[in-house]
Amino acid sequence: MASVTISGVEKWFGTLEILHGIDIDIEDQEFVVLVGPSGCGKSTLLRMIAGLESISDGEISIGTRVINDVPARNRDIAMVFQNYALYPHMSVFDNIGFSLKLRKRSKQEISEKINEAAEILDLTPYLERSPRQLSGGQRQRVAMGRALVRDAQVFLFDEPLSNLDAKLRVVMRTEIKALHQRLKTTSVYVTHDQIEAMTMADRIVVMNKGRVEQIGTPMDLYDFPANLFVADFIGSPS
């Protein structure tokens, strides 16, 4: 079971408190979207779940396992970033398989995994290309492929679509949701785009200045915003 439990989580950078005791219970196979203005701490929280940032206080668990002290590579987590961070000198094939090579899997196993991911993401014809020769949407799919081959139970997305044009964003939203359902993963998806949040989320977490303002389904938030901040955020066009 890949539920993600965040309890009393704080983040301090030196003497500056960035997250002030965050509590979020994410269910197995749920698609949860974190929204909130720039600088409110969304990426920091995601990076703490991924193990890229230490946890100053509180606990994060996956299933029943507390992961505070588990190194990033041993967490059952894959992360897709905003700037896809592809290796320009490697083919699509090698970009997708890179993390498996680091893990010392056999050549055959690596190749099977890459081909399987490419099939799912419609990248099979492009495996020998370099990232330069791909469109924005295809590059984003390669980034997802890298996450996919890791067989992770938890997927983290940090504004993965913000570099794409509006039309492609709509297509990719649907693709990401389809992937989530197909792989039966638990997903935590960060965006500052309320339309994206409303259309993709099982539940939305509205954050502001390092605190959670409200957690609920898109309908809950729309019908019963807990305060003016949530109402403004959900109600205003992006």
Binding interface with ligand ADP (CB under 6 A): 13, 18, 36, 38-44
Contact partner, 125, from ligand ADP, Mg ion, none, Cβ < 5-8 Å per class: none
CA distances from 120 to 19, 136, 141, 143, 216 (A): 37, 18, 10, 13, 31
- To ligand ADP, the closest distance from the beta carbon of 230 in angstroms equals 16
Contact partner, 18, from ligand ADP, Mg ion, none, Cβ < 5-8 Å per class: ligand ADP
Q: CB count, 10 Å around CB of 234?
A: 19
- Nearer to Mg ion among residue 78 and residue 123 (C-beta): 78
- Nearer to Mg ion among residue 12 and residue 224 (C-beta): 12
- Nearer to Mg ion among residue 34 and residue 152 (C-beta): 34
- To ligand ADP, the closest distance from the beta carbon of 58 in angstroms equals 16
Could you give the angle at which helices 92-102 and 136-148 cross, rounded to 10 degrees?
Answer: 20
CA–CA separation, 176 vs 93, rounded Å?
20
- Nearer to ligand ADP among residue 40 and residue 110 (C-beta): 40
CA–CA separation, 11 vs 21, rounded Å?
8
